[in-house]
Amino acid sequence: MNPVRIFGIALVVLGILGAAYGGFSYTHKTKEAQLGPLSLSVKQKHHVDIPLWAGAGAVVVGGVLLLVASGPNQTGRGQG
């Protein structure tokens, strides 16, 4: 399997996931203080939104890459 097909499949999968979930969240540890035996830390939760058009665009671009990668020159047919 060539790298273009792998990248196309990855774009299609990520585009579908992005359109289905609309984003993802992650936790970031920001502040930390140590005062003797007392330790303080702050964790902030961030949410990254993925627009629907970006997910749909990734699916379309991934599909085009898959079509281009499986063109007549890539299959090996007709070389007899």
47 has a pLDDT exceeding 70: yes
Residue range 2-42, pLDDT digits in tens: 888 999 999 999 999 988 998 889 998 887 888 888 888 88
Burial of 62 (0-12, 13-18, 19+ CB in 10 A): buried
Q: What pLDDT, on a 0 to 100 scale, did the predictor assign at position 80?
A: 42
Q: What pLDDT, on a 0 to 100 scale, did the predictor assign at position 58?
A: 94
Q: Structure pTM?
A: 0.66
Q: What pLDDT, on a 0 to 100 scale, did the predictor assign at position 73?
A: 63
Q: What pLDDT, on a 0 to 100 scale, did the predictor assign at position 40?
A: 85
Element (H, E) at 33: strand 23-35
